[in-house]
A and B are shown apart, each in its own frame.
Chain A
Amino acid sequence: MTEQNEIKDISVVEPLIFELSSPGRRGYSLPELDVPQEELDALLPADMLREEDPQLPEVSEVDVVRHFVRLSQLNHGVDTGFYPLGSCTMKYSPKVNENMARLSGFTALHPYQPENMTQGALQLLYETGEYLKELAGLPEVTMQPVAGAHGEITGMMLVRAYHESLGEERTKVIIPDSAHGTNPATAVMAGYSTVEIPSNENGDVDLDALEEILDDDVAALMLTNPSTLGLYDQNIKEIAQMIHDVGGLLYYDGANANAIMGYSRPGDMGFDIVHFNLHKTFSAPHGGGGPGSGPIVVSDKLAKFLPVPVVSYDGEDYYMDYDRPDSIGKVHTFYGNFGVNIKAYAYIRSLGAEGLKAVAENAVLNANYLQESLKDYYHLEFDRPCMHEFVLSGKNQKREHGVSTLDIAKALLDYGLHPPTVYFPLIIDEALMIEPTETESRQSLDEFIEAMIEIAGDAEEEPEALHEAPINTPVRRLDEAQAARNPVVRWYPEDYAEDD
């Protein structure tokens, strides 16, 4: 064990692959050359040839396998333990999805193959779109966006195209203070300025504040329902009416669709555009930066602006419809992240309509079970039934014992649990945003409850110990500030000189 407070370098646990390098070691053996050898400089222009060899690690196959397997074992994933990362829906990804995505009929396809050879793939895209339309309660869909935020920007481009087609130039997008950071970022990227509205004492959108800022300059309201507080905004129909009355559109951020799937349709709430994260709600693997898939479903009046091509069906054949003169154009190469869409399709078909409803039920039930079990130990700002997630506050622990939410999160690591999302949403002091998802058993929920209660006890009795957590993990508490101020993102050989 290292001394307390000492920051342990990850390379103490596992060296970098460069440090495993041994001159001349190889991980391959090529067959003898059976054609005449040509010199490189005879084949390529001199300015395209490098003068020095690249400094790649020289390692054997088993070196590489062991290195990366060891690294993977230092990590925490949903396949190794509970992962209640609020707003991220880290549900378990069924392995059958992977089997389906690896069918050679899919993996050996080329996007340039003619439509008569790709009917199965087109059918899969079309049917996935049909299912999403049914869940959204809206009539048109594009499967092209490859992330939630990509769906957002595509959606906001549709908003702009729609208002421009009416000869209107609107400049404002309204965003609640509980929104994901991507919402205002998207609105700004799409050329709008943002106006923030506060939440009321119930955690819902403040209707009086909304009324005050509504005018014919409002292009859209971007809303997550249930919100990042895990609360279902019951005034949604009134909000939709207010926005539509001034000619604005309603954008539904689907980050929390897991809570309402099969029970409540954004289209019925009055939304015009809905994005789904197939990598959250529909169990495609999530985290590590992708790949994701963020299809959007839209109302009739936005249909003609959708990106090309739209996958269509004429009753006999599936085809790519490019004949859409009002389209905003393509938003991604080819047809989006097809492999991710296969996994979502497999998930939807495995569960069926009733199964998807059961997902929402269990996600909400699990979250409420945790909320009720923990609210006597941690402050709960909005004490009402939650949806699929809820937000506790560590502010009492901080005020009374000097134990911050960060300390609590680090302490959970010692129990083999991934911490919840911390310090978000910003409107809750010392926030702990907890989303168990439907895939956790009563047993694993109870383990989490027990750990959280024990930590609350430790905060009272031995707060100093919590400042030191975690103590059982491969690396102890990392210096996040130093990592952000002076990131070291590449390896240099020992004899590396600045002018190299």
Chain B
Amino acid sequence: MYPEELMYAEDHEWLRVENGIATVGITHYAQDQLGDLVFVELPHIGDEFGKDDPFGVIESVKAVSDFYMPVGGTITEVNEELLDAPEIINEDPYGEGWIIKFEITDEAELDELMDVDTYTEYLEDL
């Protein structure tokens, strides 16, 4: 449920880095807590955000929440499929359900993220 190669943030985003570009989605835990997703609001390509800034909105049958940037960056790609079919995040949070890709501003910020073991321990304490 929590792939080993990913990095995790306290707000339940996952992050994968390839060639300085980060891909971000939400974890299995987050999608399970939110329940069936019904609406997603995405940022624009070129938008710049700092670490922990809200970059989008997600709405489920239970609640509306923000997405937060695990590290700062500039948006290079957004998953527009989600606009019509937010349930993709429920079905495949680590694959087709990715949310944004961005260029990382400061790679040093990655050090503050959790690895899979730390994240699963963190979940147990919630």
Contacts and interface: CB of A to CB of B under 8 A. Distances in A.
Interface of A: 406, 422-424, 426, 429, 480-481, 484-485
A423 B62 contact: yes
B115 interface: no
Most chain B Cβ neighbours within 10 Å, of A406, A423, A424 = A423
B125 to A, nearest CB: 13
Nearest to B84: A485
24 contacts: A406-B35, A406-B62, A422-B62, A423-B62, A423-B63, A424-B63, A426-B63, A429-B126, A480-B36, A480-B61, A481-B35, A481-B36, A481-B37, A481-B38, A481-B60, A481-B61, A481-B87, A484-B38, A484-B39, A484-B59, A484-B61, A485-B38, A485-B86, A485-B87
Interface string B72-89: 000000000000001100
A484 B63 CA distance: 12
Contacts of A429: 126
A424 B61 CA distance: 12
Most chain B Cβ neighbours within 10 Å, of A406, A426, A480, A481 = A481
B62 to A, nearest CB: 4
A228 to B, nearest CB: 14
Contacts of B87: 481, 485
B97 to A, nearest CB: 15
Contacts of B61: 480-481, 484
Interface of B: 35-39, 59-63, 86-87, 126
A485 B60 CA distance: 10
A429 B29 CA distance: 13
Q: 7 nearest interchain CB pairs?
A: A481-B36, A484-B38, A480-B61, A423-B62, A485-B38, A481-B61, A481-B38
Nearest to A181: B64
A253 B63 CA distance: 21
A480 to B, nearest CB: 4
Nearest to A481: B36
Nearest to A486: B38
Nearest to B61: A480
Contacts of A424: 63
A296 to B, nearest CB: 27
Nearest to A422: B62
A422 B37 CA distance: 17
A5 B86 CA distance: 23
A406 B32 CA distance: 13
Contacts of B35: 406, 481
A422 B36 CA distance: 15
Contacts of A406: 35, 62
Contacts of A426: 63
B54 to A, nearest CB: 12
A481 B59 CA distance: 10
Most chain B Cβ neighbours within 10 Å, of A406, A424, A429, A485 = A485
A181 to B, nearest CB: 8
